[in-house]
Amino acid sequence: MQRRNFIKGAGVALAAGALAACTDKECPPVTTEQATGAAPTPKAKPVEWKMVTTWPKDFPGLGVAANNLAALIGEMSGGRIKIKVFGAGELVPAFEVFDAVSRGTAQIGHGTAYYWKGKSEAAQFFSTVPFGLTAQEMTSWLLYGGGLELWRELYARFGLVPMLAGNTGVQMGGWFNKEINSVEDLQGLKMRIPGLGGEVLRRAGGTPVNLPGGELFTALQSGAIDATEYVGPYNDLAFGLYKAAKYYYYPGFHEPGSVLEAMINQEALEALPADLQAIVLNACKVVNQELLAEYTARNPAALETLINEHGVELRVYPDDVLHKLRTLSQEVVAELAEKDEFSRRVYDSYSQFYQSVRKWTDISESIYLKARERG
């Protein structure tokens, strides 16, 4: 033991003497291992994850957000986590992302919660509610109104940890091959519209169809569906939906602030050290804000292109149509709350926050925007 201590001490002394005998330009820096005589610490192998998404590979906005999340986690972790992103259909189909992450085929997924209503009807609350919370309000409910705690309680049943990881803001109403002048025009309409919005359409006399984004153009062009919604001008322009339908309606009553999610395999997340867990979860928050900002910036120019270059006819839903859809939305959401005890808890939390925040929104954003328009 004494001999080892002597050698170690001699090593420190030699290193210090060598350092004193040369200038910074002449000598390389002395490493911690050299100074202490300790053996070099081997560099840890990066954690390698797979990310599966419900979006087409590299699709503007949604798909790129998934890429950005993977890249940001890699950068923030100093390369300690490397994530390979797979678009819809590359590793698993779009609507199998939830199960793939739950069973560990991939460690993280990117999608939106209303796709998983087959797992739990309450999941739809964590995506969007027709005539419900806006993007800003939805983020507030999740982070400061108890929504995220309920969301995590639900997903824990499936071995998942959810996190908000993007928001589209208020969406457009959709693309139609005929004008919507009255509620009667919704009768028999086959429209791609997921989530609670789809159920609202059903009660208005239409037929909701759930299709992944990559199939929308073909379905609309072939007549398999009569109408479709997706997100808004930025994405709809990229899909070329203007080539398959003439009328572009607003507002997107069905998706006023749609949350995109990162769902993380719980075992994979908990296997990480605490700092890397924090990096993964906080990178999601960064991407959440960045995507909303991107849509706010990109949608106006895309809408101008659709109208001025492609001759798209912009239409607003008639007041009586919106009134009917609002009434049906209230019925659908109230009935959802009666599905089971957990749905009731989520509904109560969401509703209480909605009633509280709308009072502030009404005297802040709403009144301000009206005043701004009056000039």
pLDDT digits (tens, 9 = 90+) for 147-158: 999 999 999 999
Residue range 271-315, pLDDT digits in tens: 999 999 999 999 999 999 999 999 999 999 999 999 999 999 999
pLDDT of 374: 86
Domains by residue range for the chain, with CATH: 47-168+257-296 (3.40.190.170), 174-256+302-340 (3.40.190.10)
Question: What does pTM read for this prediction?
Answer: 0.87
pLDDT of residue 234: 97
- For residue 78, the tally of other CB atoms under 10 A from its CB is 10
CA atoms within 13 A on the CB side of 366: 9
Residue among 228, 252, 250 nearest 240 (CA): 228
* Strand-strand pairing, 259-265 and 108-111: antiparallel
Mean pLDDT lowest among 30-39, 71-80, 105-114, 219-228 = 30-39
